[in-house]
Structure formats: C-alpha cells, structure tokens
Amino acid sequence: MRIIVIGAGKVGYTLAEHLTQEEHDVTVIDKSDEVIEHCSGSLDVICLKGNGANAKVLLEAGVDKANIVIASTESDESNMLACLIAKRLGARYTICRIRDPEFNESQTFLQNELGIDVAINPERATALEISRLLRYPFAGSIESFARGLVEMVEFRALEKDRIIGIPMKDLHQKVPGLPRILYAMVERNGSVIIPDGNFAILPNDKVFVSGDMVTITEFFRFLGRNNQKVRSVMVLGGGRISYYLSRIVVPMGIHVTLFELNPEKARRLSELLPKVDVVLGDGTDQELLQEQGVSQADAFIALSNRDEENLLTALYASRSGVPKTIAKNSRMTYMEILNDLGLDSVISPPYITTSTILRYVRARENGSGTHVERLYRLIDGNAEALEFIARNGDPYIGIPLKDLTSRKGSLVSVIVHQGKIIIPFGNDRIEEGDHVVVISSNPGISDLNEVLYR
C-alpha cells in the first residue's frame, strides 16, 4: 500500500521502519533537514522536506493516491489539520496521533468532524499498560484478547519454580495439580522459541503463557507468585503518562507519590490531581527518594523524558527493595542491556503506538481475508501475538488442526468458541466466528490463512 508518514520522530521513524519491512511504499514528510537526511540514509523510503499540513506538500507526496496517511508530529493541532487536508485531497484513510489530555474528552467529536479514521494517544495507551502491570506485579507484560476473555502473561522463570527442567509433554504427570495453560513462547539468550513437547523451561527464561483469566491466576498462585499487592506507587516525572496513570490507578485504591522537578508543572499537577502527593524535587536524587520512603513503596515507575534516568533510577529502586519497578524506554537498542540488568518491565510508547497502527494497516491491507483484530509486538519486535476472527468459507474451517499445515514459527495458542476458552490440541477445530490467537516469531502476518492451510 501507499502510506504517507508525517513527522519522523521516535514514533514516525519506528513506523516507517516497520512499514517498509512489510513492503509498503512509504513516503516520509518532516520539516527538519537533519531528520530527512537520517531517514533517507537509513530507510528505504521517499523523503520530502516540508509541512505535512500544507496541501502543496501533501500533493507532492501523492496524497491523492495514498491508501493511508499517518500524522505523528509533536503537535496535535498540526496532526489534526494534516488529516483533514489529506482526506479532502483524496487519501482513503487517516490515522492521527492526539496526545493532549484537553482533546481526550472531545476525541470522538474531533474524529467525526475532521475525517480522522483512527485517533491514537500513545501516552494514555502506555498508562493503561502500566496499570495492568500494577494489578499483576509478578508479570513482565500482560496482553488481553477476545474482549478480555484471554490473557497472555510474561514472567521470568525462577530456580524454585516447580516447572523448571521438565519437558512440556511430562509437566502434568510430574507436577500434579498444575493448572492447564499454554506455554506460548519462550525467550532465551535473545532467541525466540515456540516450545514443543520436548522443550523444558530453564531458570531466567522469559516465559509467555496464555489462557483465561481464572486459569492464569490459578497458575501463578500455584507457583506462589501472586501474593504481592500494590498499594503504594512512586512515579518519576510529571508528564502526560504520569497524569493519565494517576487518573487510572487512584480510583483503584493505589496511593501515588509523584516527583516533578519543574515548579510550574508540579503546581499544575497538584491542582489536576488533588489525591496525588506531588513532591517538588529531583526524583533521581537518592537522598530524596529515601526521605520519601522508597524502600517501603510497592512499585516504582520511572517516566521522565530521559531514558538513562529512568533506567538507572528504576535500578536503584529495585536495589532498595521495591518489589516492582517499571521504566519507560524509547530506545530499543537498550533492551539487551536491560535484560542483563534484570529490569523485566520496560514500557516503550513508540512500540505501543506502532503495534496499534500496524494492526490497522494490516486490516486495511487485507479487506477480504481473516484480518488482524488485535496485534501486540513482543520481545523487542522479534515476535507478535495476533488475534483473528474466523470467517465462513476459509479453508481451515471445521478441519482438525492436526490435518492442517502450520506456518513455521507460528502457533495457534488459544481458540475462543462461543465464549469458551480452548487450549488447542490436534483434534480441535476452528469454526466460523471463533476468536483465534496466534503467536508468531515471523512478524508480518496479516491473515489467518497465512498461518493455517491444507
């Protein structure tokens, strides 16, 4: 498809990179000479310097023939104007990044009036992701599918876990009472593994398990992981993510202490968040953290604008005895270092935004097939979890899975049939209307027919 990306910052650049990997024709528009030079030297895209909200620039980029226009500049107003003009000039679909909380309440109205097909708020989406991690502090990441009926939870295997060293085919025989969930994927030493019957989990593996909420909860209770409750949280940085997060978790009964160095921003947050303790000061200062009782906090979340500060402060909080630490990181090149440090819960707003937009792009790309309903990028983008809804007439319908060929590196992890969760085996079948969750170490799948075929 022909796709125009307006604004090549962290989000725009990441989008352009992944869209070109999926063989779309991408044009990038940005005002900065430096950004354009960087994109043209590192990406296989057409680069155009200019204002993406300028009709002349958009026409030069071929907006009248564009399938999708994505506006991802730092300015919400520029993004909305660009989408409005692009739609009037002939673009089929528009995706707009809208970040300001003031626009949040009127987002539906703005979408309808400005011709925006999809509006994305990366900061609010990131805050929602963090709030899920606070509900399940033993997890590294949590994704939900089939309208919340299915969850996929990431955790790090420990030496004491009773599942360690036992082949998958022997687990339930050798570990009586172990709840039946699917071991969907394992990351070991930077490699992604789809487990088979002979595979055994080892200490320090990152394990992804899938199942319904009740069974997942029973599984972690069996391992002794879900005894920890989060009642108090410390947050570094008073940006938009911190604001959205506070609005979400305070009603959950979680006490929030928020550190902000800028006096004006701290005052404003105190007014907007009256139930949050806003501390004016440097949240990276170890003396200030100890003074505020960091060692007694249940969770520490580092959300400043500097990745280095987030990572180091979260590491300090972990060393101070905080059970759950979460750090915002926008540079995926740091991920290997983070794994070595043991920081499992790392949040990346650019990747959350990219996953959302790629899901939409793939759905538009495949209008007649069983297209992607939900998509999550996992393990630094090296794997994906995708949700499809099976459609009548597809060749896999009603055929036992053992009689179908599966794409290498892909696994049907869960089937939801009429509200019932099925961990699939060879004799199980997919019927029309079923929700099907697929795990794949081969990113780029846009149709369930690419995974299962006769």
Q: Cβ(432)–Cβ(407) under 8 Å?
A: no
Taking the complete model, does pTM exceed 0.85, yes or no?
no
* pLDDT digits 0-9 by tens, 402-416: 999 988 888 898 899
Q: What is the DSSP letter of 183?
A: E
pLDDT at residue 201, as a whole number? 96
Q: How far is CA 234 from CA 3, 47, 130, 360, in A?
A: 41, 42, 13, 35
> Which CATH architecture describes the domain 2-120?
3-Layer(aba) Sandwich (3.40)
> Which CATH architecture describes the domain 127-223?
2-Layer Sandwich (3.30)
The continuous run of DSSP H or E covering 107 comes out as: helix 107-114
Which CATH number is 351-453 given? 3.30.70.1450
pLDDT at residue 339, as a whole number? 57
Report, as ranges of residue numbers, the positions in the chain whose pLDDT lies below 70: 104-105, 107, 227, 332-344, 363, 365-370, 380
Fold of 232-347: Rossmann fold (3.40.50)
Alpha helix (H) residue ranges in 224-328 = 240-249, 263-272, 286-291, 307-319
Q: Coil, strand, or helix at residue 80? A: helix
* pLDDT digits 0-9 by tens, 269-321: 999 999 999 999 999 999 999 999 999 999 999 999 998 899 999 999 999 99
Same fold, 127-223 and 232-347: no
300 vs 318: CA distance, rounded Å = 8
Q: What does the block give as tokens for 327? A: 């750090």
Q: What does the block give as tokens for 11? A: 């989000």
Q: Where are the domains of the chain?
A: 2-120, 127-223, 232-347, 351-453
The CA radius of gyration of the chain, in Å to the nearest whole number, is 23
Q: Give the burial class of 120: count Cβ atoms within 10 A of its Cβ; 0-12 exposed, 13-18 middle, 19 or more buried.
A: buried
